[in-house]
Structure formats: structure tokens, C-alpha cells
Amino acid sequence: GESVGLHLPTLSVQEGDNSIINCAYSNSASDYFIWYKQESGKGPQFIIDIRSNMDKRQGQRVTVLLNKTVKHLSLQIAATQPGDSAVYFCAENISGANSKLTFGKGITLSVRP
Amino acid sequence: NAGVTQTPKFRILKIGQSMTLQCTQDMNHNYMYWYRQDPGMGLKLIYYSVGAGITDKGEVPNGYNVSRSTTEDFPLRLELAAPSQTSVYFCASSEPGWDGAKNIQYFGAGTRLSVL
């Protein structure tokens, strides 16, 4: 698999390989993080989330890793499939009354058959 | 279960025209949001609401207005459309956890607006 920061717009992977999408967040007070997938022409769709008291959380074929020391979040997709082709966004939140997400710029994942 | 529904899906406006983007949700969520997404960019928060009768500005509120008279509906109003408002607009809703941290937002399919 390949890893790339969100400052690079596109990640291209071979079908069947693992994908790693990285995100650097800026606010050390953020205590909740979430990944969204956005397919062409559609709204963002929730993939997986993680609270700051955890380092890792697994879903179906996806894993989110959180490194609070360096303020880094990653999304790992196992056995990438053509249906995984989309733009992926990370977002962060701080607990409080007016709960809002701050979104990163997004990265395009392109799966080669 | 419909989730978040946005209308219209597409719209072309002339400079100076006005319009309202509709958003309704059937999940009984208290929180609702409006975002705009420019090509190749992330989501920028325009306005949000934490409950009926309560609205607040986000990152890019200029040129827009909102109202929240019911839990279900959160319309976004453009009074004098400008080319800079050409974008894709997304509405979302959520019900944050007890501490306000966990906040899974559910999005509509978007409204694609062009101002010419």
C-alpha cells in the first residue's frame, strides 16, 4: 500500500492492495475524529470514527489510527476494491455545546483494476 | 428512511437573483448544518443550528441567511446571487453525544448551483 498526506490530491492503488490515507490535524484540543467517503456526485458518507482516548479502531475492511503525540490520523483500507474509489475526508471535533466538525481538504483515492 | 433530503438538485441563477435551498431531515436530529464545497476543495461551514429557533454563523456566512422554525427543516437563502456563490451546497444533520464530541453528521445529496 501507499501512504500520502492530504496535501497531495490523489492516491492511486492497485486493486487488492492496502490503502493508507493520512491526515494531519492542527488543534491539539480536538477529541473526536471522523472519516468520510464521498463518491462522485453524492454527499459525504460516514465511514468510521474514533475518540481521542483510543489509538485504534477497526471496522469492516477499514482501520483508523490516531497518534495524538504528532497530531496524525490515518485511514487504512484493506484489499482495496474499485468501489473504494472516492474522495476521503478527515474531520475533527472538540467536545462542547456547539458541536461542529472541521473538515480537511480531502484526497482522491483511485483504484486501478 | 429518507434521511436528509435537499431540493433542488441543480439550479442556474442569474447574478442578483435570489433563491432558497431546501433541506429537511426525518431523523429528529437537533443539529443541522449548511456547507459549501468548491471544486477540489473540502467542506466549508456556512451556518448551523443546534435546535429549532437557534442559528449561528459558520466560517463563510456572508451572502447567506438561514432560519430554523421546525426541527425538520433548515432552508438556506441566497438574497443577491453572485458568481462567487457558484458551488455545491450540502445540508447535514446530527445528534451529538452527551459531551458534544461524537458528532456523526448525515449528509444530503447536495444542490449544484451555478450563478452566471
pLDDT in tens, A25-79: 988 889 999 999 999 889 999 999 999 999 999 999 999 999 999 999 999 999 9
Under the banding of pLDDT at 50, 70 and 90, the label for residue A5 is very low
Q: What is the C-alpha separation between A52 and A94, in angstroms, rounded?
A: 10
Q: Does B88 touch chain A (CB under 8 A)?
A: no
Please identify among residues 13-52 of chain B the ones whose CB lies closer than 8 Å to any CB of chain A. 31, 33, 35, 40-43, 45, 48, 50
Q: Does A93 touch chain B (CB under 8 A)?
A: yes
pLDDT of A3 reads 33
Low-confidence ranges of chain B (pLDDT < 70): 1
Give the closest-approach CA distance of A14 to chain B in angstroms.
Answer: 23
Q: Does A42 touch chain B (CB under 8 A)?
A: yes
3-class SS of residue A83: helix
At B25, the amino acid letter reads Q
**β-pairing, B106-107 with B87-94?**
antiparallel
B40, B48, B108 member nearest A100 (Cβ):
B48
A34, A89, A98 member nearest B42 (Cβ):
A89
**Which of A50, A92, A94 lies closest to B100, judged by CA?**
A94
**β-pairing, A32-38 with A45-51?**
antiparallel
Residue pair A86/B26 in contact by the 8 Å Cβ criterion: no
Q: What is the C-alpha separation between A77 and A62, in angstroms, rounded?
A: 5
How high is the mean pLDDT of chain A?
A: 89
* Inter-chain residue contact A100 with B40, CB threshold 8 Å: no
Rounded (10°) CA dihedral A104, A3, A66, A60: 100
